[in-house]
Structure formats: C-alpha cells, structure tokens
Amino acid sequence: MEILLFLSSGLFLGWSLGANDAANVFGTAVGTRMIRFRTAAIVCSVFIVLGATISGAGAAHTLGRLGAVNSLAGSFTVALSAALTTFWMTRLKIPVSTSQAIVGAIIGWNIYSSSVTDTASLTKIMLTWVACPLISALVAVGLFVVVRKAISYFRPHLLELDAGTRLGLLVVGAFGSYSLGANNIANVMGVFLPDNPFSDISVLGLFNLTGTQQLFALGAVAIGVGVFTYSERVMRTVGSGLANISPVPALVIVLAQSITLFLFASEGLEHLLASNGLPTFPLVPVSSSQAVIGAILGLSLFKGAGIRYNVLGGISLGWVATPIAAGILAFFLLFFVDNVFDQQVSRQVQYRIDEVVCEELLRTGVQDEGLNGFMNRTVTNALTLKRDLQESTELNDEQITKILDLAQLGNWKIDPAVIAADIDKHWLTQGQLKALRSISGRQFDHVWQLNKALADASPEWRVKPAATVNKIFNKDLKKKQDYLDRLFKVDPASPESVGPVF
C-alpha cells in the first residue's frame, strides 16, 4: 500500500500529461472539427498505452543519468512537483512540456540532496528543446510540399479529399499517440524505476511482461484518463488558438510532430541507423508541445499565414517558467516531506578517493598532485567535494565528474543464490553468464570494480572502441551493467536522510 501511495504522484503526473499533451496529437483535428473529441480520446488513449508499454524504455535512461532519485519518497515528491506544475499550466490553457517539468523537478531534488547534476545529460536534453521545434517545422514544411503535389496530381473530389483527410488524421493521430506514449512515459514513471514494485510475469505462456513494462502501462492508463477527462480545452487552444489551420495542414502538422517524437523515442530506429554507420538521434524525452507548435509555426510561415503572437508569447513564457517553477516547488516540497512527514527523500551517498580509485584514474590518464590532499577522506556531500576538487586541482569538469563516479562508495555482493534464481538468463549471453558465475561470492566497494572484474573475465563485458557501429553494443552493455548494479547492491541497514543545502 505504501508503494501504491507513493506511485500516486506519478499517476497524477500521467493524468496531467494526458490532459495537456493529448492536444499535441489531436488538437488540430479536433480544432478543425474533422474528428470528434470522443473519437480522438479513445484512439489517443489506446495507442498511448501501446507506445508506453512496447517502446517506452528507450528515453528513460537519460533522465536517470540527469539525477538518480534514490528513494521512493523522493520519487513521489519529484513526480508530484512536476504534476502540480503541469496541472497549473493546463488550468491556464497553456500547452506546456512535461519533459521540462520533470527535468526541473529532478534538478530541484539534486540541489536539495547535494547531488551533482550531470551537465552532459542536461545539455543534451536542453539542446533537444531547441532542436525539437526546428526539426518539426522542417518536417512539416517538407510533408506539406509533398502532400500538396500529391493532391494536385491526383485531383481528388472534394468529398474524397474530406474523407481521406479525416481518415488520415485518425491514422496519423494513432501514430502520434504511440510516439507520445513511447517518448513521454519516461517523464511520468522514469523516476520510479529504481524502486519498481513490479516483477516480470508471463501472460498465458505466450509472452513476458517485464516489471518496467507493467510500470509504464500503469502510467499510460493514467495518461488515458487525463485525455478523457480534461484535454478538450487545451486541444482547442492548440487547434485554433495559435493560427487558423485548415484540415489538410492539420494532418501535416500532426504527422510532423509524430515523426519528431518517434525520432527521439525509437530504439529500433536507433539500431537501424547505427548498424549502417549513420548518426543516431539521442533517446531523450522531448516536448510534444514544442514539436506540434514548431510544426504549426513552420507551416504558417511557409504559407504566409497569420500567427497570433500574443498566444505564442504566452506559450513561450510557459516553456520558460515550467522548469523553474517545477524545480523551486520540488525543493520546498522535499523539505516539507522530509521534515514534516519524516520521510526519507534521499539516501546518503558516500565518496572516498582511495588507492584503488587513484590507480584507476592513473590507468585512464587522470592525475593531479592536488588529489593527494583528498586521500582516504570519506565525504557525503558531492557538491562540496566537486567544489573542493575544482579549487585544489587543475582538473577540468569532465575529469572531476569521472572522479566522483569512481569514488562513489557502496556494497556490491555477487550472491550465487541471486544468480541462480533472479538473473535474466534470456537477456545475458552465455559468455556473460559464465563470467558472472566466475566472480560469484566476491564483494566490491565501487561499482566500477564489479564492471572491471566482469570485463577481465570475459570480452563480452568489455566496452568496444567508440564508433557508430559499436554504439548499440556499448549502450546495451551499459544497460546490463546498470541492471547488475541494482540487482547485487546491498543497501545500508539504516541509511540516514539527507537534509537541505542552503
């Protein structure tokens, strides 16, 4: 019951996402009266659940690297902060980004718990906030040119064009809903992955549903409820409030934003591009609001149509305010939950630069005489340690981040009983399983020591040289390492809650 209570904030965030972001899929169709709201809501809900369950895992890992919320109460508070921010914006009829809300809330948790924000992941996410509307605008213009030429070539009757446009809006809306579920479910349930209460199950012996898929399906149902109960008002803002949109351009806009979301969500597309030596799109939760509004603006500018800049200004202000508001709200709610309800919102993490850490740093080419002053000191404040390293060494931010990763302490015990009963023998290769069994019974103070021991035992656990063709292997390997990290990590008996930093 406690787990379900904590998950309730994720369900509220899912409801808020459905209430707000369904407009990005069917807003133009409903706004132009080509599809009834009820029909749009049914199709949207069904395909959001399918997208979240089948393809939702891809974008969740980037949020995990941005900030590893390491307690269930902390995950509850972070999701609640993002949900309240999104709900407030929805009440104002502003189509905001749940991606921005959850990112802001995670950064608020990082500040409260004295955790270091991964600047590389944050930069990648923020760059997609810029790239997403631009890509969507370009795709919309290109599609519009193709569709216009096709109509000119086939010259359909007016009734045929109307019927085809309605069917197209429905089909494209289904694809857009699938992409929305696949990309944005990470915003709803991604922070709960470390404390996922669901385990893998077999459905009638036909297929398996992983714990992650069950968690994402639950969040997707909450999104569907939000679509039915509260999305119509925002649909009409997106569909007719920003610019005057006729049915055919409405179809193009929905398809453009659907393709854009799919580019940033599909692991299958990433595998296809990487296997052919082509650059890939980062699997990052992007803003469907930004995608659809980018498509509307791109098409409106291309056609020379009028844009209501006062509406655009309000939407842009919402995009800027959302992550800031979510971060501030998260910080104060974390303080409230921690001190009033006495719930552990973050687990204490210790760092120690010892001989084995220095040896690994030297092996990877990172060295500085200033590190001698930190030898064998155990600290619990990552921000303070980072600041001290910046002041006492000549290392750059990337090298300091590497030191923090290597110095993080824990207790990993390779329990043979866990290997026999709980390990996923279908995911790991036979060579990887053999290497894991060969280190059975060993314990490690740093997770990188576990990864190094496996790499020494088998080449199948070794990272391949950086190249596009090796990207998929290395990414899959990192997922397996993270899986073993969670599976074999022994939590402290009574961890202390971390207080705020002023």
Q: What is the pLDDT of residues 368-427, one digit of tens each?
A: 989 989 999 899 989 999 999 999 999 998 899 999 999 999 999 999 998 988 887 888
- Average pLDDT of adjacent 10-residue blocks, the chain of 502 residues: 80 88 79 86 93 77 76 92 86 77 94 89 87 94 94 89 90 92 88 78 73 88 91 67 72 91 85 80 84 88 77 78 94 96 90 93 89 91 92 92 93 93 85 96 95 96 81 86 88 44 31
The predicted pLDDT at position 238 comes to: 58
In whole angstroms, give the CA distance from residue 447 to residue 406.
8
The predicted pLDDT at position 131 comes to: 92
In whole angstroms, give the CA distance from residue 300 to residue 304.
6
Strand 378-379 with 351-352, pairing: antiparallel
In whole angstroms, give the CA distance from residue 217 to residue 374.
46
In whole angstroms, give the CA distance from residue 414 to residue 433.
12
DSSP code, position 370: G
Residues 474-483: tens digit of each pLDDT = 888 988 998 8
Closest CA to 262 of 359, 360, 373, 183: 183
pTM across the whole model: 0.84
The predicted pLDDT at position 60 comes to: 66
Measured from the Cβ of residue 467, the count of other Cβ atoms closer than 10 Å reads 11
- Given the structure tokens 């997922």, which residue do they identify? 479
Angle, vertex CA 418, rays to CA 409 and CA 415, nearest 5: 50
The predicted pLDDT at position 239 comes to: 52
Q: Give Dmax (Cα) for the chain.
A: 80
